[in-house]
Amino acid sequence: MDVSNWKNKDAAHVWHPFTQVKTEAPPLQVVKAEGSLLFTADGRSYIDCNSSWWVNIHGHGNAHIGKAISEQFQRIDQVIFAGVTHQPAVELATRLTRLLHPSLQKVFFSDNGSTAVEVALKMAMQYFHNRGENRTKIMALNGAYHGDTFGAMSVGERDMFNRPFEPFFFEVNYLPFPEADKEAEILEKAAHAFATGAYLCLILEPLIQGSAGMRIYSVDFLEKLTRLAQENEVLVIYDEVMTAFGRTGKLFAYEHTEVVPDMICLSKGLTGGVLPMGLTVTTNAIFEAFLDDSRVKAFLHGHSFTGNPLACAAANASLDLFQNSETWQSIERISTFYQSNYKRISTLNRVQEIRHLGTIFAVELKAEDGGYFAGVRDEIYHYFLENGCLMRPLGNVLYFNPPYSTTDSQLETMFRTLIAFLERN
Ligand SMILES: *Cc1c(COP(=O)(O)O)cnc(C)c1O
């Protein structure tokens, strides 16, 4: 298919996600991806500053992951996962539970981050139902993002994104985002709520809220809130879909703390960001509440591609890469680069706040109309594209969370573009 023809066919037949097709420029026509670079049909290249929607952690075309997928394809491509098991899934569940805290022992497979969250919510609800306990309330944090399916939307921020669906959401209570000076007040509010015995679960993104604009909160708050919930037998769900697999400088974000959730949701970087897969990992105690002579107490949930062997093989290969010191050195190198270049930006006029955690670097701009629909968003996006960087701002927040393969010279290009943008009027 020739290139112009291909573009027209895209416009004729493809409905792109998160896109106002009427006003946005046509999509980039990517023909090749390698390392941290994307190459387009018009002969240009772009640094993949946000790891292709936060998923691609080791860089594109990683040879070790590619080999694992292709070898797995020769053995088993796809097979039903009810009544059947296979080696790549067993290996993945075994390796992950060894890497997680010893209390997290049971792995449930699904297909993406939203379903990993749906599964966690359904498990929490059915856990109490199976035990004959009447708990109906759910607690989440303001600004949360947990995905785009109904359960995930219900526990997320109620904003312009999901207004048409709001009448159909189930009831959820929210705690304010824990700004440093509000922590004590919020914890007190949570303590009162949890003491009622009505709450079944607390769900949150640990330490950093992604879609809300890479908003960071304290380890101390996360530990205290988690303990408050667990003391009242409220199940704690950490949505680590964005934060796991090195993003925050550790394999899992909860490792920055002294607490452990009852459930953890994984996706995005799980397969190295190469194939879709979601996992919900939980405790033996929760698992055991589903064991019974009757089938109705079982967790009657599954997806066609649950435990897909190719995705499992990719995830196992990605875990291999975390056994190499080079992966951790790259994570450290990116974090150090941010640290040593911070000052070049902090004094610039347009900067409201700079946030940095592991391989994530975010700059919030002063903007009269803040938030996702800020007018400045399009200006930023196109400026970065013109300068060879694919970076999708979150409203007035510019951020980098690149693949760990990103070189110092690519980081320098990203920062130079950022500074040049911030120095414009
Ligand atoms: C992206 C994301 C999700 C949703 O994952 P999808 O694979 O896009 O469905 C859920 N939670 C968090 C924290 C995320 O960043």
For ligand 1, the distance from its centroid to the CA atom of residue 117, given in whole angstroms, is 8
Positive or negative CA dihedral for 90, 93, 96, 102?
A: negative
List all residues 6 or more positions away from 414 whose beta carbon is below 8 Å from its beta carbon.
47, 49, 389, 391, 400, 402
For ligand 1, the distance from its centroid to the CA atom of residue 147, given in whole angstroms, is 5
- Structure letter (DSSP) for residue 256: G
Q: Which atom of ligand 1 is nearest to the CA of 147?
A: 4
Q: Which atom of ligand 1 is nearest to the CA of 210?
A: 15
Using a 10 angstrom Cβ sphere, with 0-12 exposed, 13-18 middle and 19 or more buried, the burial of residue 64 is: middle
Using a 10 angstrom Cβ sphere, with 0-12 exposed, 13-18 middle and 19 or more buried, the burial of residue 385 is: middle
For ligand 1, the distance from its centroid to the CA atom of residue 112, given in whole angstroms, is 7
Q: Beta 360-365 vs 397-400: how paired, if at all?
A: antiparallel
Residue 3 confidence (pLDDT): 67
Take residue 137 and report the two structure tokens written for it.
């309330």
3-state secondary structure of 228: helix
CA 206 – CA 251 distance, rounded (Å): 13
Closest to 395 (Cα-Cα) out of 418, 406, 379: 379
Residue 72 confidence (pLDDT): 98
> What is the Cβ-side half-sphere exposure of residue 249, based on CA atoms within 13 angstroms?
15
List all residues 6 or more positions away from 247 whose beta carbon is below 8 Å from its beta carbon.
54, 57, 253, 269, 358, 359, 360, 401
Q: Which atom of ligand 1 is nearest to the CA of 267?
A: 7
Pocket test for ligand 1, best of 50, 114, 264 (most atoms within 8 A of CB): 114
Element (H, E) at 118: helix 113-130
Q: For the segment 229-238, what is each residue's pLDDT rounded down to a tens digit?
A: 999 999 999 9
For ligand 1, the distance from its centroid to the CA atom of residue 282, given in whole angstroms, is 18
283, β-bridge pairs: 104
Q: Which atom of ligand 1 is nearest to the CA of 152?
A: 10
Q: Which atom of ligand 1 is nearest to the CA of 239?
A: 13
362, β-bridge pairs: 355, 399
Q: Pick the residue whose CA is nearest to atom 11 on ligand 1.
A: 146
Q: Which atom of ligand 1 is nearest to the CA of 149?
A: 9
Pocket test for ligand 1, best of 52, 55, 56, 242 (most atoms within 8 A of CB): 242
Pocket test for ligand 1, best of 207, 241, 245, 264 (most atoms within 8 A of CB): 241
For ligand 1, the distance from its centroid to the CA atom of residue 19, given in whole angstroms, is 17
138, β-bridge pairs: 201
What residues are in contact with ligand 1 under a 6 Å CB criterion? 112-114, 117, 145-147, 205, 210, 239, 241-242, 267
3-state secondary structure of 265: strand
73, β-bridge pairs: none
Intervals of the chain under pLDDT 70: 1, 3-4, 368-374, 425
Closest to 280 (Cα-Cα) out of 244, 321, 246: 244
Q: Which atom of ligand 1 is nearest to the CA of 278?
A: 7
Residue 367 confidence (pLDDT): 73
Q: Pick the residue whose CA is nearest to atom 6 on ligand 1.
A: 113
**286 contacts 234 by C-beta, under 8 angstroms:** no
Take residue 282 and report the two structure tokens written for it.
């939980």
**408 contacts 333 by C-beta, under 8 angstroms:** yes
Phi-psi region of 245 (alpha: psi -120 to 50; beta: other; left: phi over 0): left
Q: For the segment 296-330, what is each residue's pLDDT rounded down to a tens digit?
A: 999 999 999 999 999 999 999 999 999 999 999 99
CA 201 – CA 197 distance, rounded (Å): 11
**117 contacts 152 by C-beta, under 8 angstroms:** yes
Produce one character per residue of 95-134: b if its CB has 16 or more CB atoms within 10 Å, e if not.
Answer: bbbeebbeebbbbbbbbbbbbbbbbbbbbbbbbbebeeee
**26 contacts 34 by C-beta, under 8 angstroms:** no
Residue 368 confidence (pLDDT): 66
